[in-house]
Structure 1
Amino acid sequence: MGKAVVALAAISMATAPMAPVAWADEGGTSFWLPGQFGSFAALPSAPGWSLPMMYYHASANQSANKTTQRGGRITAGLDAKVDMLFLLPTYVFEKPFLGGQASLGVGGALMSMDAGIDATLTGPRGGTLSGSESDSVTAGSDLYTQGIVKWNKGVHNYMAYTMLGTPIGAYKEERLINPGTNHWSLDGGGGYTYFDKKNEFSAVLGFTYNFENDDTDYQNGVDAHLDWGASRFISESTHVGLVGYFYQQVSGDSGSGARLGDYKSSVTAIGPQIGHFFAVDKAKWYVNLKGYYEFDAENRPEGWNLWVSLLIPLGSQ
């Protein structure tokens, strides 16, 4: 596989940026975006700088007889769309750390979001309102910091990671949907990749702890998430396969503002993927296209989402 194998070094960064939006928890916004880790997640990387870029589109809806809390309101019948362009400049260190290879990335996103509801059941001060309402916003996300350590043992690869969400993104309590979470978040976990130069399988398990949103006195519960990907090279430069994720809140939402009580959400998804290496001057760039169809959702909207990731190597240190 030659130079393409070297280029695999940072694919996990290209296919796993931090996520400023997901359909879960308060207001339909959570720190973790299911599916952000994919194939080759634990594969070690070439030292130096790279620029992972990702375009994300999602469309999701929720039945009018299902309720969700958004800011101070209880709403029903959500229909939402999100478009996001995410950048995560990343540096991979040459010097070993804990016997493995460390990397650090910091980034954020520009987001365009549209949402509509069929009814607002409860107003901020306890009043009721029926009818429809829509909202849209284009703004920046929170700031996301990602640290990863990877270890290689032949065809077996292992990783540990942590992510921090800093609440600097656009947020207004009265909006139906927000680019920012308005609270700090901390996520961590580990993963595995099997790669024999022809076949690949990856899985990453993590947990998110969310701090309280001071504007709404609402604290999202602890989220558990498992992202996976499997693929096979069909040529020197192209691989195809499947991706999927499982998302489950393991503890309910809480705080004086959590008017729905011990609220938990979950969802499952699966879909296809294709990745391709191509030369730009003397460097190997990588592009990946993957899509997810969601099902078996509980207490959250479900739909489909599309990811287009591009990895741009910026040279060694």
Structure 2
Amino acid sequence: MDLIKCDVNVNVSEAVFMPSGFYDENEIVNLGRNYWSFYTIAGLTWLHPTRGHEISFNVGFMSNTENDTTQYQSGDEFHMDYTVAQHFSEEFGIGMTGYYYNQLSSDESPQLERLQQIINAQNQLRQVLGRSALPAVGGFQGESAGIGPIIRYSPKFGGKQVHFIGKWIHEFDVQNRFKGDIGMFSVALDF
């Protein structure tokens, strides 16, 4: 049976993001987040070594702590990345890649609670005046998806294989996040 010749690779990792980098609550853009995040990732790759078929995916869960300066806490996050590719040789492969992202819990902050109290007071006045109500402050839960092509070229230099990987991902169904297409280029070297 051909499936016996398939290679399966499983990996699990944990990343910890520390509150490092420049952070100033009065600046609109900061390099640091000023809070801790714990990121668990599990991945699986199935590769048929003679036919060159590949199916890979990673799932991740990130738990964020509160920013002590602003008392703002981003919700917990889930993502899944996937690739379906055809490798024509050790040097060349193409396929489709993409992702799905979903913020599982709402952002929390005393500022959000105060803003909701102001909106509630405004809505009482608007009701008396016969006007439609303002929407409630949401939890700013983000969600998005994307898909696009991936290409890999892996020549040998000095007996070592070097992998050049390019991706372009078109985002769609984006809610409460920045939207845009993503272009990535990476280089990896076998040791």
Q: CA RMSD in A?
A: 1.7
Q: CA deviation at 1:189?
A: 3.1
Report the equivalent of 2:159.
Answer: 282
Q: Note if contact 1:185-1:208 (Cα within 8 Å) is conserved in structure 2.
A: yes
Pick from 180, 185, 189: which aligns with 1:303? 180
For the pair shown, the structure with the greater C-alpha radius of gyration is: 2
1:64-79 to structure 2, matched below 5 A, reads: none
Q: Which has the higher strand share?
A: 1
User: Counterpart amino acid of 1:165?
Assistant: F
The answer to whether the aligner puts 1:180 opposite 2:57 as a matched pair is no
Q: 2 CA distance for matches of 1:256 and 1:211?
A: 15
Q: CA deviation at 1:270?
A: 0.4
The answer to whether the aligner puts 1:224 opposite 2:78 as a matched pair is yes
Report the equivalent of 2:120.
Answer: none
Report the equivalent of 1:265.
Answer: 142
1:1-317 to structure 2, matched below 5 A, reads: 154-197=6-49, 198-258=52-112, 260-313=137-190, 315=191
TM-score (norm 2): 0.78
Q: CA deviation at 1:312?
A: 2.8
Q: Which has the higher helix share?
A: 2
Q: CA deviation at 1:166?
A: 1.3
The count of aligned residue pairs is: 162
- What's the CA shift string for 1:33-82, capped at 9, x where partnerless? xxxxxxxxxxxxxxxxxxxxxxxxxxxxxxxxxxxxxxxxxxxxxxxxxx
Gaps of at least 5 residues in structure 1 are 1-152
Q: Note if contact 1:188-1:206 (Cα within 8 Å) is conserved in structure 2.
A: yes
Q: CA deviation at 1:154?
A: 4.8
User: Counterpart amino acid of 2:175?
Assistant: E
Q: Are residues 311 and 291 of structure 1, via their aligned partners in 2, closer, same or farther at CA, if it must alter by over 3 Å?
A: same
Q: CA deviation at 1:255?
A: 2.5
Q: CA deviation at 1:261?
A: 4.8
- What's the CA shift string for 1:189-240, capped at 9, x where partnerless? 3221110121101111111100111111100001010111111112331000
Q: 1 CA distance for matches of 2:111 and 2:56?
A: 39
Q: Are residues 257 and 213 of structure 1, via their aligned partners in 2, closer, same or farther at CA, if it must alter by over 3 Å?
A: farther
Q: 2 CA distance for matches of 1:175 and 1:270?
A: 33
Q: CA deviation at 1:257?
A: 3.6
Q: Are residues 160 and 226 of structure 1, via their aligned partners in 2, closer, same or farther at CA, if it must alter by over 3 Å?
A: same
Name the % identity: 30
